[in-house]
Amino acid sequence: MQTLALPKLSRAQGDITIPGSKSLSNRILLLAALCSGKTTVSNLLDSDDIRHMLTALKQLGVSYQLSEDRTECIVDGLNGPLASGQIETLFLGNAGTAMRPLAAALCIGSGEFELTGEDRMFERPIGDLITAMQPLGIDVEYLKDPGFPPLKIKAKQLTAKPISIDGSISSQFLTAVLMAAPLLKQEITIEVEGELVSKPYIDITLNVMKQFGVEVDNQNYQRFVLDGKQQYRSPGSILVEGDASSASYFLAAGAIGGGPVKVHGTGTASVQGDTRFAEVLEKMGATVTWSENWIEVSAKGPLKAVDLDLNHIPDAAMTIAVAALFAEGTTTIRNIYNWRVKETDRIEAMATELRKLGATVDDGHDYISVTPPASVKGAAIDTYNDHRIAMCFSLAAFATDGVVINDPGCTAKTFPDYFERFSQITE
Ligand SMILES: O=C(O)C1=C[C@@H](OP(=O)(O)O)[C@@H](O)[C@H](O)C1
Ligand SMILES: C=C(OP(=O)(O)O)C(=O)O
């Protein structure tokens, strides 16, 4: 296993342009494949999650041309559903944004497909999505544990029926049904049961669908109605915004390490909910300046602890758990049960690693509370093949020397050169 020893950091300052958004890249690629016409996608993220989507689309007969640096892609739309003449096995790594949307779209295609991935993917639920689509007449078999990938899908002609979907574990299930729904070419109503988690990701979905010509009637996130006449049309060209979750590490560095750190690529014009991470830093006492497409953060004295429901920014909220090491008092992050079903059990993993640094941590079913120690200890941080654990613990190097990140290469899921970029704004 590779390890990365981080030097003790005393200052963060500078400008950084973050790579394209994972959530937008994979949604845009899928809709560019389904729509009529050619789409030029720019500022595409080049990371494992996007490579899995691109490889799957190629196997499904979608043709595209990628630029040498893989950040520009011209996709020839199929003008209809995905299809295959043979049983196609698609390996989707641990990319939720590939597995869930492709599963729903393939049910409405033609052919037979096996959807598989890394071992952790076999522990990440998909049952609420499959159950929701059953009334349409889908044919899906669980190849291992019921409710989890791997899956075998036999696509067939489906009939639109009103469906209801449990939104309390992952918003990606609703995203998947919404993006697949226009392929039915019939009016459909989708009712949400339970509390819808990670709501801002639905805004991203509706925004991208609209750019591809399909409007959804969103009735207060409880009910979504699509009329049957709309079809995906290419917008011609489309720009992927910078990734707001990836921005969180740099913005937090500005709050902890003096700043100013200016992050380009996301701002008030962004469709990503994770831009609201900067509001949390503001509540912790940092100075935040916003523009349409950049955010700048600097420190204004020591950070203060916060006690907040961060269900709306589940990914960036992990960065707050580490920023808590630098805040006076106990920081509590609430309503984050679904951290437990992501790349690893993130509540458990964050608690374990923060304790190694000397923090007092209280963790429960859906929350984590972090009280910093008088002096943070050096530690080797295990990363559980979770890119975000590797990235957010880089901030601990502002507190102590002796922070080692085990398996730093796991950032490849969304940000392959993260540590190089982090070193450019820190010293
Ligand atoms: O739709 C998306 O692009 C995502 C939704 C969120 O997942 P949940 O809805 O499962 O919380 C988020 O954590 C994930 O990284 C990306
Ligand atoms: C939860 C995440 O990924 P996924 O898209 O695989 O759900 C994440 O990137 O933090």
From the CB of 314, is ligand 1 less than 6 Å away?
yes
Nearest CA to ligand 1 atom 2: 23
DSSP string, 353-395: HHHHTT-EEEEETTEEEEE--SSPPPEEEP-TT-HHHHHHGGG
- CB of 371 shorter than 6 A to ligand 1: no
Q: In what order do the strands lie in the sheet with 403-406?
A: 3-6, 403-406, 379-381
- Hey, what domains does the chain have and what are their CATH numbers? 3-19+242-425 (3.65.10.10), 22-221+232-239 (3.65.10.10)
User: Which pLDDT belongs to residue 415?
Assistant: 98
C-alpha distances in Å from residue 353, one per residue of 41, 361, 384: 38, 10, 11
pLDDT of residue 96: 98
Whether residue 19 has a cis bond before it, omega within 30° of 0: no
**The pLDDT of residue 197:** 98
Task: Please tell me the predicted confidence (pLDDT) of residue 169.
Answer: 97
What confidence score (pLDDT) does residue 327 get? 98
Residues in the chain where the model's pLDDT stays below 50: none
Does ligand 1 lie within 6 Å of residue 311's CB atom?
no
Atom of ligand 2 nearest to the CA of 23: 5
Which residue, by CA, sits nearest to atom 4 of ligand 2?
Answer: 96
pLDDT of residue 8: 97
Share the mean pLDDT of the chain: 98
Catalytic residue among 128, 315, 382, 386: 315
User: Which bin fits 198, alpha (ψ -120 to 50), beta or left (φ > 0)?
Assistant: left
Rounded CA-CA distance 356/340 in Å is 20
- Global confidence as pTM: 0.98
**pLDDT at 75 (0 to 100):** 98
Atom of ligand 2 nearest to the CA of 94: 6
User: Quick one: pLDDT at residue 319?
Assistant: 99
Atom of ligand 2 nearest to the CA of 97: 5
The pLDDT value given to residue 291: 98
| pLDDT value at residue 180 | 98
ipTM: 0.99
pLDDT at 189: 98
Q: What is the pLDDT of residue 277?
A: 98
- Catalytic site residue 48? no
Of the candidates 197, 164, 167, 209, the one whose C-alpha atom is nearest the C-alpha of residue 32 is 209
Which amino acids are annotated as binding site, given as ranges? 22-23, 27, 96, 124, 170-172, 198, 315, 338, 342, 346, 388, 413
